Amino acid sequence: MNAEIERRRTFAIISHPDAGKTTLTEKLLLFGGQIQVAGAVKSNKIKKTATSDWMEIEKQRGISVTTSVMEFDYEGYKVNILDTPGHQDFAEDTFRTLTAVDSAIIVVDGAKGVEAQTRKLMTVCRMRKTPVIIFVNKMDREGKDPFDLLDELEEELKIKVRPLSWPINQGMRFKGVYNIYEQNLNLFRPDKQKVTEKISVELNSVELEENVGEEDAAKLREDLEMIEGVYPAVEDVIGTMEDGTSAYLEAEVAPVFFGSALNNFGVQELLDCFVKIAPYPRPTKAEEREVKPEENKFTGFIFKITANIDPNHRSCIAFCKVCSGKFVRNAPYLHVRNGKTVRFSSPTQFMAQRKETIDEAWPGDIVGLPDNGIFKIGDTLTEGEQLHFRGLPSFSPEMFKYIENADPMKTKQLEKGISQLMDEGVAQLFVNQFNNRKIIGTVGQLQFEVIQYRLENEYNAKCRWEPVSLYKACWIECEPGYESELEQFKKRKYQYMAKDREGRDVFLADSGYVLTMAQQDFEHIKFHFTSEF
C-alpha cells in the first residue's frame, strides 16, 4: 500500500486568467502520453479545443469555467492534475479544489508578472501550507527581466524563491534555458507539437559559445554565479528524499522554472523535477482526528459536483478525494451525513470528459462517483467511522438576481436544472419568505451568464434575470435562550428574510448600513458570512 501512496502526485494548476494554465495542462498530458496532439487553445483555424475545457461555453469563450480532473502515468509515478478556472468569478471552485490537493503549480505570465488573482490563490496556499512550484510562462515573448521577476514573486506572493532553470535571453532573441537542476542546456526551437532536444554542456567549455553565442554565454555564466550567491542552495530547497523534509515541502521556498508552454518548452523539465520532489499524499485533518493516508480503512470527501458531464444522460458526478485506505468498487461505505450505506457499481477516473470505470483507487486519487442527488459538497464517506472533513466553505454571495421562468411549458426542466446546478456549488439559491420568489446569489457577474447558458443548452429551459438590489446574504442564528429576539428580528425584517436550500434562515441585507445597524440592535444574534458555522 505504501508503494502505491508514494507514487501518487496530486496537484492543482492555478493562476490569473490567460497566464497559460490550460495550455500547460495540455502539454503535461502530451508528455504523459494521454493525448497525441495538443489542441491549440485559442486558434480558430484548428477546430480542436483544449482537452480540459470540455463544456460548450468553455470552447466558445476560450476560458475555463469549471475545474477538470485528469490523471496519467509518467515514469512510474501516477499524476493527478486538477486544471482550475483562473477567472475570479469562479474563484470559489478553485478554493475548494485547493483543499483536495497536496501541492500546486502557479503559472505566471513573464510579461505581466504577478496579477491580482494569483495573489488571492497564493493566500489560500499559504493558509493551508501547500507547497508551490512557479512556472514563468511565455518566455518567447518580450517580458520583464528575470531577476526583477524573481523579486516581484518574493514580494507579491510572500514566499522565498529559488530558480531551478534560467532563461537565455527572451522574446525574439530567446535561445533556450539552462537547467540548473539537471545541469544541462536546452536549446529552443519553436514547435507546438515536438519536444526540444537537450544538450549536456559544461558551463566553462567552448561548446556553450558555439551553441548560444559569446555574449549570451558570458551573461549566462554571470547570472548563474549571481544566483548561487543570492538564493538558497538547491539541496536545502528540494532536500534529499531520505529525510522527507525540505524548504519546498514546508512551503517556505518555491522552486521557479522558465519556459513557454505553447511551444512545449521547459515543460518536461518542470514535470521531471516535479514528480521527484513533490509531496505524495499527506495526512488530512478531520474534525475528530487527523487521518493518515496509510490507514487500512477507506475515508474520502466530496469536494466538487459536476452536473451533465454526459449531456445524453443528465447525470451528475461527485468528485471524491481518497484520503486513506483503498477505495474498492461495489464495497459498502457509510455516507456520514445521512447515515446510509452506499455502494458504487461504476466509479470512474477522468481524462477531462473521457472517463473509464475503475475497480480500486488509492489515497491521493480523485474518483468520480455517480450522484443521483445524495451528495452535497463536503460530504464524507468512510467504512463506518463518524468523520467530518472540514474546510469547504461557501462564501456569502456578492451579486443577486431574481430568476424567472421564461417558458411556462418548461417549468419542470427549469426546476431540475436549477437544483442540479446549485448542487455544484457554483451559485446559491435563496427563497424570499415575503413573496416566495427565487433569488440566485453568485460571487461574479459571469456566473449568471454561465447559468443561463447551461440551463438553455443542457436542460432545454429558458430563464430570465430581474434585478434586485441587495448588499450581502448572511446566515443568522441566535444564542441559546434568545429565541424570542430571533422571532422579533424576523418579524421586523420579514421582507428581507429568506431560506437557503438547507432551510436555514438567511438575512438579505440591502445595504452595509442596514447590516451594521441590525448587528448593533440585535446583539444576541450571530451573523455569519460563510455557510459553515
Q: Quick: pLDDT tens for 406-456.
A: 888 988 989 888 887 787 666 889 999 888 999 998 877 777 888 888 888
SS3 201: coil
Q: Tell me the percentage of the chain whose pLDDT exceeds 90.
A: 2
Average pLDDT rounded to a whole number, residues 192-216: 68
In this predicted model, what pLDDT tens digit does every residue of 345-383 receive, in sequence order?
Answer: 888 877 644 667 888 888 888 888 887 778 887 888 888
| Residue written as grid cell 469536494 | 303
If one counts every other C-beta atom within 10 angstroms of the C-beta of residue 374, the result is 15
Mean pLDDT (the chain) is 78
Residue 100 has pLDDT above 50, yes or no: yes
- Look at residue 402 in the predicted model and tell me its pLDDT: 92
| Residue written as grid cell 451559485 | 427
Cross-strand pairs, 319:
304, 368
Residue 311 has pLDDT above 60, yes or no: no
Q: Mean pLDDT lowest for which of 65-69, 96-100, 363-367, 487-491?
A: 65-69
User: Cβ-count burial of 6 within 10 angstroms (0-12 exposed, 13-18 middle, 19+ buried)?
Assistant: middle
What is d(CA 485, CA 441) in angstroms, rounded to the nearest whole number? 27
- Look at residue 202 in the predicted model and tell me its pLDDT: 67
pLDDT band at 199 (very low <50, low <70, confident <90, very high): low
Tell me if 211 sits within 8 A of 205, measured CB to CB.
no
Pick 39 or 442 by higher pLDDT: 442
Average pLDDT rounded to a whole number, residues 256-271: 82
pLDDT band at 139 (very low <50, low <70, confident <90, very high): confident
- Look at residue 165 in the predicted model and tell me its pLDDT: 83
Cell numbers placing 157: 506572493
If one counts every other C-beta atom within 10 angstroms of the C-beta of residue 429, the result is 17
Cell numbers placing 55: 463544456
Residue 259 has pLDDT above 70, yes or no: yes
- Does the structural domain 399-528 have CATH classification 3.30.70.3280? yes
Q: How far is residue 435 CA from its own chain's centroid? A: 38
Cross-strand pairs, 472:
509
Write the CATH number of the domain with boundaries 285-382.
3.40.50.300
Average pLDDT rounded to a whole number, residues 503-514: 88
Q: Tell me the percentage of the chain whose pLDDT exceeds 70.
A: 81
State the span(s) of the chain assigned CATH 3.30.70.3280. Answer: 399-528
Tell me if 500 sits within 8 A of 396, measured CB to CB.
no
Cell numbers placing 391: 474546510
What is d(CA 47, CA 475) in angstroms, rounded to the nearest whole number? 46
Longest dimension (CA), the chain: 86
- Amino acid identity, residue 96? R
What is d(CA 130, CA 119) in angstroms, rounded to the nearest whole number? 14
Pick 32 or 164 by higher pLDDT: 164
What is d(CA 23, CA 260) in angstroms, rounded to the nearest whole number? 10
Average pLDDT rounded to a whole number, residues 72-93: 70
What is d(CA 474, CA 482) in angstroms, rounded to the nearest whole number? 18
Cell numbers placing 300: 474520502
What is d(CA 531, CA 79) in angstroms, rounded to the nearest whole number? 33
pTM: 0.74
Q: Which residue from 137, 129, 237, 140 is spatially nearest to 190, judged by alpha carbons?
A: 140
What is d(CA 115, CA 108) in angstroms, rounded to the nearest whole number? 8
Average pLDDT rounded to a whole number, residues 202-212: 72
Q: Which residue from 18, 167, 234 is spatially nearest to 107, judged by alpha carbons?
A: 18
What is d(CA 189, CA 169) in angstroms, rounded to the nearest whole number? 14
SS3 519: helix
- Show Cβ contacts of residue 82 under 8 Å, excluding neighbours closer than 6 positions: 10, 11, 12, 13, 67, 68, 69, 70, 97, 100, 101, 366
Q: How far is residue 345 CA from its own chain's centroid? A: 28
Q: What value does the CA radius of gyration of the chain take, rounded to a whole number of Å?
A: 25
- Look at residue 49 in the predicted model and tell me its pLDDT: 45
- Look at residue 80 in the predicted model and tell me its pLDDT: 84
- Look at residue 41 in the predicted model and tell me its pLDDT: 40
DSSP state of 93: H
pLDDT band at 126 (very low <50, low <70, confident <90, very high): confident
Q: Which residues of 29-60 are buried (b: 16+ CB within 10 A; e: fewer)?
A: bbbbebbeebbbbeeeeeeebbbbbbbebbbe
Cross-strand pairs, 81:
11, 70
- Show Cβ contacts of residue 411 under 8 Å, excluding neighbours closer than 6 positions: 405
Q: Are strands 160-163 and 253-258 parallel, antiparallel or unpaired?
A: parallel
State the span(s) of the chain assigned CATH 3.40.50.300. Answer: 2-282, 285-382
Angle at 9 between CA 315 and CA 238, to 5 degrees: 155
- Look at residue 431 in the predicted model and tell me its pLDDT: 92
pLDDT band at 526 (very low <50, low <70, confident <90, very high): confident
The third-level CATH classification (topology) of the domain covering 2-282 is Rossmann fold (3.40.50)
Please give the backbone phi and psi of residue 30, each rounded to the nearest 5 degrees, phi first. -65, -45
If one counts every other C-beta atom within 10 angstroms of the C-beta of residue 79, the result is 24
Q: How far is residue 447 CA from its own chain's centroid? A: 17
Half-sphere exposure of 449 (CA within 13 A, CB side): 11
Half-sphere exposure of 238 (CA within 13 A, CB side): 17
Please give the backbone phi and psi of residue 529, each rounded to the nearest 5 degrees, phi first. -105, 5
Q: Are strands 316-324 and 360-361 parallel, antiparallel or unpaired?
A: unpaired
**What is the sign of the dihedral through the CA atoms of 214, 216, 219 and 224?**
negative
Average pLDDT rounded to a whole number, residues 135-154: 86
Cell numbers placing 289: 482526528
In this predicted model, what pLDDT tens digit does every residue of 320-346 receive, in sequence order?
Answer: 888 888 888 888 998 888 888 988 888
